[in-house]
Structure 1
Amino acid sequence: MQKSNTKISMAVIRRLPKYRRYLEELLDKGINRISSRELSKIIGFTASQIRQDLNNFGGFGQQGYGYNVAALYEEIGKILGLDNVYNTIIIGAGNLGQAIANYTNFEKAGFIPKAMFDINPRLIGLKIRDIEIMDADNIEEYIKENNIDIGIICTDKEHAQDVADKLIKSNIKGIWNFAPTDLNVPEHIMLENVHLSESLYTLSFLLKHNREQEDV
């Protein structure tokens, strides 16, 4: 567990899901034990970085033995809160919202989509898998009646802040924002922004400069 009085940096926190993903792959291959040095070759972080990251949460490895893959996978899941169940709603039932609703791995990890919301009357009443698309006017009432933890915003940027304001008024705990805009939320609301275009533009930069180096 996390050491007392230790503030964990976001850089460390953002590396934890990657550790967990690679550990899952090792489990699928039947690998039960691994050293930090072996893990570093797979993940790309240094062995020292891996040990330092994991030491933030207590000791998981043993001298001369390394890490128990299954135990470390389970512990990282607990650190990430994946031993809990989170009720979610998706606001915006366009292509992106529907893609998230159809991605069953989120549900397997404990993020349960309870409903979708949209302003388009042609979509209201339809279902994606078994998830009903409801009128966006009913978001606040639905959250309060169904103990929703996370709101997933998949709207355009013009509507995103209004949606966020509704979620905040309804005492939502967290927002996962896919709209291409930065939201204003109070400190007690946990906010994670996913700007797909920024990631794509970063890839564009890498491609451009790689091409320029090849032309030299």
Structure 2
Amino acid sequence: MGNKNISMAVIRRLPKYYRYLADLLAKDIQRISSKELSEIIGFTASQIRQDLNNFGGFGQQGYGYNVEALHKEIGKILGLDRNYNAILVGAGNLGQALTNYTGFKNAGFDIKAVFDANPKMIGLKLRDYEIMDSDEMEKYIVDNAVDIAILCIPKNGAQEVADKLVKLGIKGIWNFAPIDLEVPNDVIVESVNLTESLFTLSYLMKEGTEI
């Protein structure tokens, strides 16, 4: 299925569908209409139908959607029907928080190793991991199957680390460094800028008080 022309706005809504459908399954709800789903998720019924129609016909008129089947299909679309091996670079406060979150592994994203450049951190235990020297990262990637690198390092040096990861064949980078990384077209970067998100919250709060 070629989905190259589907907008990022649609793609970024898919995880929300997936999450809400999981909640419905947990409540043993087997069938739902686009109208009922819209009341739960906050999108219009028309928007939901348009989004899902980008990937094929999942619903039946007069029946709605089979919750379990739709959840499974969206999982496939998101690539969640496989497992991903990840490494984490930067064992500071944010890196430690991400490593301690068990939800990633439950979703198929397994952090296999943690690296840091700070000599004081190397050798320390972080949950089930012994923090490794960043100098060992290249050998680790060469010797092990790694799909994703999670960057939790300062802005300075982030591009250099990303360049090294690209040369080692890493095709997915989850970037928490406050910098827009430059990578080849065949490498996917998903950046999470916590400050920008907070600024967005500030703007929306300001707008809300000025209405």
Q: TM-score with structure 1 length normalisation?
A: 0.94
2:79 corresponds to:
81
**CA-CA distance at 1:123 after TM superposition:** 1.0
SS at match of 2:43: coil
- What is the match of residue 60 of structure 2? 62
- Is the CA contact (8 Å cut-off) linking 1:113 and 1:131 kept in structure 2? no
2:103 aligned with 1:105: yes
**Alpha-carbon deviations, 1:169-212, whole Å to 9, x = none?**
11001000000110010101011111111110111112223233
1: CA distance, partners of 2:149 / 2:4: 29
Distance between the aligned counterparts of 2:4 and 2:169, measured in 1?
Answer: 28
Q: Does residue 13 of the first structure (1) align with residue 11 of the second (2)? A: yes
Counterpart for residue 24 of structure 2: 26
Secondary structure class of the residue paired with 1:200: helix
Name the amino acid aligned to 1:157: K
* Aligned-CA RMSD value: 1.2
Cα distance in 2 for partners of 1:160, 1:5 equals 31
Q: Secondary structure at the match of 2:115?
A: strand
- Percent identity between the aligned chains? 68
**Structure-1 residue corresponding to 2:113:** 115
How far the C-alpha of 1:6 sits from its partner, in A, is 6.1
Secondary structure at the counterpart of residue 172 of structure 1: coil
In the alignment, structure 2 segments of 5+ residues that lack a partner are none
Partner of 2:189: 191
Cα distance in 1 for partners of 2:40, 2:3 equals 32
Shift of 1:16: 0.3
User: What is aligned with 1:138?
Assistant: 136
CA distance in 2, matches of 1:151, 1:5: 25
Structure 1 residue 46 displacement after superposition: 1.1
Q: Is 1:182 the equivalent of 2:206?
A: no
- Superposed structure 1 runs of 4+ greater than 3 Å apart: none
- The amino acid of 2:176's aligned partner reads F
Contact 1:90 1:153 (C-alpha < 8 Å) held by counterparts: yes
User: Which residue identity does 1:211 align to in structure 2?
Assistant: T
Residue 82 of structure 2 aligns to a residue whose secondary structure is: coil
User: Closer, same or farther in 2 for the Cα pair 1:5/1:23, shift >3 Å?
Assistant: closer
Q: Is 2:165 the counterpart of 1:163?
A: no
Letter in 1 for 2:17: Y
User: Is contact 1:139-1:166 (8 Å) kept?
Assistant: no
